[in-house]
Amino acid sequence: MTGDSILLLPVLLPLFAGIGIWFLKEEKQRNFIVFITIAVELALIFYVSAKGGTLTVWHVTSRLSFAYHIDGIAKYFAVIIGLIWLLAAIFSMEYMKHEHKPRRFFMFYVMSLSALISLCFSANMMTMYFSYELMTLLTFPLVIHTQEPQAVRAGMKYLGYSIFGAGLGLLGFFFLNTYCVTTEFAPGGTLNMALTEGNEPLLLFVFFFMAVGFGCKAGMFPLHAWLPTAHPVAPSPASAVLSGIITKGGVICIIRVTFYLFGADFIRGSWAQTALLVLSLSTIFMGSMLAYKEKLLKKRLAYSTVSQVSYVLFGLLLLHPVGFAGALLQVAFHAAAKNILFLSAGAIIYKKGCTLVTELRGIGKEMPVVMWCFTIASLSLIGIPPAGGFVSKWVLAQGALSSQFGVLAVVGISILMLSALLTAGYLLAIVTDAFFPGNSYDYAAMEKREPNYFMTVPLTILAVAVVFFGVFPKYLGNFIDTISGVIF
């Protein structure tokens, strides 16, 4: 082992702590250990992010190794993941009281954080691939937690799609090991131009299939179908992190492959870039349409994720600094907003048992804090100021115009606007019915059902963050500009 050994602590702590949680049968003790573990993990993430460093854990061959490195992308994603993971864990402490086998849930919930941080800190393709697969395996039990037949089927679908997508990534890894000077991540890419000459068409096919493969986890068409199947059956806190955080695992891989292995200059202007932009725009429109028609609340939110994460992919694949900035802003605002929406759905299920959109009439009178947080998140996903989603979508539109893609840029902006209208249709309809139920609502029978602070405090913190960073986006924007400056 060579390098800064402290980088291994944020990777190993959740893994071993998660195993230890299995042996804690007393609820308060277990909740305390879960909170302390993730809080310490978050502190470690901040510490190593400030300190930086590189660690080589194991040399497999002269070219392949398990190694970790702290750069701008690692810091950005790790901090977002750590913060949201802690808030969702606090929410889960109350929610899991009505689910069976909470020990198993919290064991895999905490262990999954290990794989995510390992993915963020990966210094090369081999470490990234291993972390990506570990992330799938550790989150699989969260999907099948109820062990009901539909949950098991959804879990197998999640597993199948994820492994197939990862297989496409692994296939590309074999080619990159041959055509790259090194598979260590480096801004601008590591292709060996002497070997690349004459093999450009082959490598563009490799890039395309790798992007599609890792795009599976991000919910990009055509490997998106696991999302609307897996999210409704998982416990709501698991659905929240699957939608808001786990999907970003695919985004991290696409960023690394695009900007740190192939390099933007190699891909820019190619058929592969155009094809992937078309796929991302198709996914945005398709996800919004399917969400608009869906009556099951959590499934509607899952289709929304299919659409909203592809905003990120669209921005990245523009291969332009402004589009890149919009994509990373969308990462943060979508992660926060979608966690709010799924956790709000969980609070509603926990307190009232409602799962259909049609059952939510008047819920804003009964659970005002939850539904105000839901409303703020909805405004962000639509792109209405002062919520943060407005900033990310504005910058994405600017990126499309700046990229000089001509007709495709205009089509892209049009689809973003159409998707925003559809998002308003399938989210604001819920908000309107929740706060303005009409004369048919029985006000006399109304009962306050607001959940306790374990649920409302995480929701409120996330909602405040969405508004704060929407009003003051420079705090995120300045850091993103630093990352962008290194890549471009």
pLDDT in tens, 249-284: 999 999 999 999 999 999 999 999 999 999 999 999
pLDDT tens, 394-405?
999 999 998 878
What was the pLDDT predicted at 178? Answer: 92
* pLDDT of 405: 80
User: What integer pLDDT is reported at residue 415 of this predicted model?
Assistant: 93
* pTM tops 0.85: yes
Per-residue pLDDT, 2: 65
Q: Order the strands of the 2-3 sheet from edge to edge.
A: 2-3, 54-59, 65-69
DSSP letter string, 239-305: HHHIIIIIHHHHHHHHHIIIIIII-HHHHTTSHHHHHHHHHHHHHHHHHHHHHHH--BHHHHHHHHH
Q: Categorize the per-residue pLDDT at 444 as very low, low, confident or very high, splitting at 50, 70 and 90.
A: low
> Is the torsion defined by CA of 352, 107, 166, 481 positive or negative?
positive
Question: What is the reported pLDDT for 439?
Answer: 75
Query: Packing angle between helix 200-215 and helix 247-255, nearest 10 degrees?
Result: 160
Tally of CB atoms within 10 A around 198: 7
With cut-offs at 50, 70 and 90, classify the pLDDT of residue 308. very high
What is the rounded average pLDDT for all residues in the chain?
A: 92
pLDDT (average), residues 7-14: 95
Nearest CA-CA partner of 14 in 112, 82, 96, 104: 112
Residue 38 Cα distances to 59, 119, 479, angstroms? 30, 17, 24
The long-range contacts involving 185-188, CB below 8 angstroms and separated by at least 24 positions, are: 185/69, 185/71, 185/122, 185/123, 185/124, 185/125, 185/256, 185/260, 185/261, 186/260, 187/259, 187/260, 187/486, 187/487, 188/259, 188/260, 188/263, 188/264, 188/265, 188/487
CA 74 to chain centre: 14
Q: Are 129 and 67 in contact (CB under 8 A)?
A: no
Q: In this structure, how many other beta carbons lie within 10 angstroms of the beta carbon of residue 398?
A: 16
Instruction: Kindly tell me the burial class for residue 360, based on how many C-beta atoms sit within 10 Å of its own C-beta (0-12, 13-18, 19 or more).
Output: buried
pLDDT given for residue 402 in this prediction: 87
- What per-residue confidence (pLDDT) applies to 25? 86
Average pLDDT over residues 129-135: 96
The crossing angle, in degrees rounded to 10, of helices 368-382 and 453-471 is 30
CA 344 to CA 275: how far, in whole Å? 36
- When computed from its CA atoms, the radius of gyration of the chain, rounded to whole angstroms, is 22
Structure tokens at 285: 């429109």
Predicted pLDDT of residue 337: 96
Q: Which of 358, 360, 364 is nearest to 376 (CA)?
A: 364
Task: Give the pLDDT band (50/70/90) at residue 312.
Answer: very high
When divided into structural domains, the chain yields a total of 1
Instruction: Give the CA distances from residue 388 to residues 49, 113, 383, 419, 457, in Å, rounded to whole numbers and listed in that order.
Output: 24, 25, 7, 17, 20
C-alpha to C-alpha distance for 469 and 138, rounded to whole angstroms: 31
Average pLDDT over residues 361-366: 89
Task: Give the pLDDT confidence score for residue 3 in this predicted structure.
Answer: 63
Residue 387 lies in domain: 2-487
Would you state the pLDDT for residue 143? Answer: 93
Report the range of poorest mean pLDDT among 182-191, 220-229, 338-347, 462-471.
220-229
> What are the structure tokens assigned to 147, written together?
């062990």
The answer to whether the peptide bond before residue 10 is cis (omega within 30 degrees of 0) is no
